[in-house]
Each structure stands twice: as C-alpha cells, then as structure tokens.
Structure 1
Amino acid sequence: MRIAIAGATGTVGRHVVAAARGRGHEVVSLSRASGQDVTTGAGLRDALPDADALIDVTSVETLSAKVAVEFFERATAQLLAAERDAGVPHHVALSIVGIDGVDESYYAGKLAQEGAVSAADVPWTLLRAAQFHEFAGQVMRRGSLGPLLAVPRALVRTVAAREVGERLVELAEAAPAGRAPDLVGPEEARLVDLVRRQLRFDGVRRRALEVALPGRYWRAMASGVLRGAPDAQQGSITFDEWLRSPDHDPAPAL
C-alpha cells in the first residue's frame, strides 16, 4: 500500500511512519519540511496521487478552543479536498477518548475534526485513543514553577504512542469502518503519580504537586471520563515499560 501520513514528524506520526514501513508499505510523509501545509493545502494534491489511504495525526499545541477549532476545521477541510481530487479512498483520523460533552479548549477542536470527517464524502475511519505516556513529560514542561511542578488533577489510562501508531496503520490497511473501537492503556493512574514515577526513573529531584484547576476542560480531566469506556481495547505497554524503552524523553531538570 501507499500510505500518506499528515503530521508524520509528531509524537504519534513518527510511530505511524515506522509501523507503516515495518509492515512493508510505501510512506508519503506530509509535513512542512517536505513541502506540504495542511492549513493552506499547499503541496497536498501533488503528494497524494496513487495513495491508498491517508492517516491524519496532525495537532496544534494550544488550550484555546478558538485556535483548536480553526486549526482542525481548516486542516481537515484541506486534507479531505486533496483526497477527493486525488481519489484517495480512505481517510483515517485520530481523536481522544471520552471527549463527548467536553466542547472546551483543545477538545473542542477534536470534536470539530470528528464532525468534519464523519460528514465528508471520503470514506473514513476514526480512532479515539487515551492520552499518551508522553503526556506526563508534556505536563512537566508546561507546569514548571521553579523547583516545583504543578500537575493538574487527572485520572488517566495512558497508552504508548507507539501502539497508537501501529493501530492506525492496521486500520488504514482495512476497509473504512467509521468509528473504530477506542484504544486505552493497560493501567489506570493519577497523572501526578505518573509524573513522580518518571522523575524518579530519570533521577530528577523535583517535587510534583497535584492541583485542581477550574473549568470544564480540567474538571473532565479530574473526573476520569478521559480514561475511556470499560469496553475499550487495551494496549499492552505499561508506563514503566515505556520508561525503560527508547521512546521516552527524560524529564526536564531545573
């Protein structure tokens, strides 16, 4: 198969690329570095002829609902238009478990993306996954307060980005299926505990404090709805196994 990957250089994208190549597929990496821009459509049509599927794992780093919605609506529209023009028969998109009713912040953008994909005339598959094991490190970089780390109160079931990438390729290989079964990690945890475990593993002497933040976005994180439903499929790589793998980036030091 010839598989195009939008967001190929990101946290999940690099694993999608590796999984696709490992399964013998020809990969077309779509990124600004290779001349494609999902927000303007530049270079997309020229890259997609003869593609059998496109996997969209693009993202934007923001907590603004307006920015997130604008990005995902624009990027999805450009990708779908290019796919229609090139005759790509399968659009595969990645979203987040448990975001129904949480039309706030970044999740508002993902809900907008889901709506655009499901309303499109390009056959599609949508995978919702839990936060990645890499989420702990992202929180550390954002919540640094000198020697302290402020960690939002959250009940999570993080999954390895590697397993998400592999699952997306499996879905791209199959026929369009609409909403695929959700994918979550193998264990439940408090986010602050994951942060502390990573700090200990990396030998970083910093104190992580759990904080309750206001707003629907943060209340959803604290409630546990973002752990996914009980019938979700489970990945097999635990957080501690991920820490021992080459996939994890060290915790930020002072």
Structure 2
Amino acid sequence: MSIGKFAVAGATGRLGRHVVDVLTERGYQVVPMSRATGVDIISGDGLAEALTGTDVIIDAASWHGSDQEAATEFFRTSARNLHEAGQKAGVTRIVLVSIIGVDKATGGFIASQQVHEEANLSGPLPVRILRAAQFHELVGQLLDWQQGDTAYIPALPTQLVAARTVAEALVGLATDPDAPGTPVPEIAGPRRQTMAEAAELLGARRGVRVVGVDNPDMPDAQAAADGAFLPSPHATLAGPTFQEWLDAQL
C-alpha cells in the first residue's frame, strides 16, 4: 500500500518542525498538528478533522518541563487521543520518538517517556518507536535556565544528536514498509562527551563560564553517570557532532 499522507503531532516544536521539513522535501503530504495550527492533541480539538485521510501519525510532541507527574499525564493522554482518533480515521500506524535508555529509567522526565511507550504499545494501532539521544539544542536550553556568567552543568556522559538528524531517521522509520521493530532502533550522535563539555563550547561563544558538576539529586543520577542513557551497540550514529552543528549556526 502506498503511504502518502502524514500527520505530525508537535509540528511546531524542536523536533516536529524538522519532521515536517523532511517529509515535505521528500514529496509527502503533511498535516502539521499543534495548537498553533488549531489542533490540540490533549483536548482533542481539531484532531478528527486533521486526521481525515491520514495514513500515518508521527508523534513528535513533548512536554516542556521536567515534572514527572505532569509529563506522564501529558504523554498518557496524548497517546490515548491519538490512538482513538487515529483508529476512527483509518490511520495505519503511529510512529513516535522516545529516549535512549528509557527502559532503565526509574524517575524524572525519562520515566514519563517510559509510560509514553507503554501507553502507545497498549493502544489499538500498530506502533513503531525510535529512541534518540539528547538533542544538540538541549545544551543552549540548559545554559538559558541559569543566571549570571557561570553555569553549572551536569558532567554526565552523552552522545548528543541534531534534531534534524533525528527527524530524518524518524521519517525513514515511518516510510519504510519493512522497518524492523526489534530491537527498538536508536539514533545518536557520533561523539561521546559529557553534557558539561558540550556546554563549554557554547558557553565560550556566549561569554559564560561552564563548570561541570555531579548532580546526585537528579533522578537516576548514578545510572546516568554509568552510561545507562548512552546508545547501545545496535544504534545508528550520525552527525553532525555538536562542534560541527555549532559552527553551522553562525
């Protein structure tokens, strides 16, 4: 069966806008879904109309905060609404992005993504999942959250990846009729570094001194320090590196 029409949840967000761009560049029909386009996946407003004639839903929506309870409620509700409305509209499957290491999380935002996966897998529509490393764009957000000319950033190992790179992998998973579902595919950047090391590169451009710190109060801090959220051996590693991505922003 030919698949030509995609609805993108979170279409104006950090990842979703790239997903819309990639689909458009590859010649697919795209229905952007966000509150800015009149579609609310939590209240359900505009959802049925947006999904009319849609073949596949790509769920790139996220909760913009670290509170586990609020994020969990968001993901549980959005999954239920997308499945219910998608089933009524004749959607063939849902493809969603998650986080590498989500199966090892016991608390915090990453644990809410675990609920997101489970809620989707228990729904009526077939589901494909892509787990991604933290985005390059997260580094600037971490610096923005702090005040003054010194920023204290967790010295946790990561393998940052560009949101555009994740979008390309997500679209590939959505459009490949024979994409394998197990093990769950992963996408990460090509270079391992700590979050603080990446922040130092951006901080140098902003005139901000970055200090790497341990954060024992962070959920799953020890597991993260031990590499629980690093890509597995079967992960796809794709550039640009954080330094290359940063250079391209100029």
Moved more, 100-109 or 85-94: 100-109
Q: Does 1:82 align with 2:85?
A: yes
Q: 2 CA distance for matches of 1:158 and 1:138?
A: 14
Asked if structure 2 preserves the Cα contact closer than 8 Å seen for 1:130 and 1:159, the reply is: yes
Q: What's the offset of the Cα at 1:63?
A: 1.7
Asked if structure 1 preserves the Cα contact closer than 8 Å seen for 2:5 and 2:55, the reply is: yes
Asked if structure 2 preserves the Cα contact closer than 8 Å seen for 1:124 and 1:177, the reply is: no
Q: 2 CA distance for matches of 1:104 and 1:210?
A: 22
Q: 2 CA distance for matches of 1:51 and 1:58?
A: 17
Q: 1 CA distance for matches of 2:106 and 2:96?
A: 18
Asked if structure 2 preserves the Cα contact closer than 8 Å seen for 1:213 and 1:219, the reply is: no
Asked if structure 2 preserves the Cα contact closer than 8 Å seen for 1:68 and 1:106, the reply is: yes
Moved more, 214-223 or 151-160: 214-223
> Paired residue for 2:174, among 172, 175, 185?
172
Q: Does 1:12 align with 2:15?
A: yes
Asked if structure 2 preserves the Cα contact closer than 8 Å seen for 1:153 and 1:221, the reply is: no
Q: 2 CA distance for matches of 1:137 and 1:32?
A: 24
The answer for unaligned runs of 5 or more in structure 2 is: none
Structure 1 match to 2:108: 105
Q: What's the offset of the Cα at 1:150?
A: 1.1
Q: Does 1:36 align with 2:39?
A: yes
Q: Does 1:193 align with 2:197?
A: yes
Deviations 1:59-107 (A, max 9, x none): 1122221111111001111111110110100100000001223121111
* Matched AA of 1:210: G
SS at match of 2:119: helix
Structure 2 match to 1:153: 155
Q: 2 CA distance for matches of 1:178 and 1:77?
A: 21
Q: What's the offset of the Cα at 1:222?
A: 2.5
Moved more, 208-217 or 97-106: 208-217
> Paired residue for 1:208, among 203, 207, 210?
210
Name the count of aligned residue pairs.
244
> Paired residue for 1:121, among 110, 124, 138?
124
Deviations 1:217-244 (A, max 9, x none): 3333322211111221111211111112
Q: 2 CA distance for matches of 1:136 and 1:60?
A: 17
| Aligned alpha-carbon RMSD (Å) | 1.5
Q: 2 CA distance for matches of 1:140 and 1:75?
A: 29
The answer for unaligned runs of 5 or more in structure 1 is: 249-254
SS at match of 2:97: strand
> Paired residue for 2:30, among 27, 30, 34?
27
> Paired residue for 2:242, among 236, 239, 244?
239
Percent identity, please. Answer: 35
Q: 1 CA distance for matches of 2:22 and 2:198?
A: 26
Asked if structure 2 preserves the Cα contact closer than 8 Å seen for 1:68 and 1:108, the reply is: no
Q: What's the offset of the Cα at 1:177?
A: 4.5
Structure 2 match to 1:252: none
Q: 2 CA distance for matches of 1:209 and 1:71?
A: 33
Asked if structure 1 preserves the Cα contact closer than 8 Å seen for 2:10 and 2:33, the reply is: yes
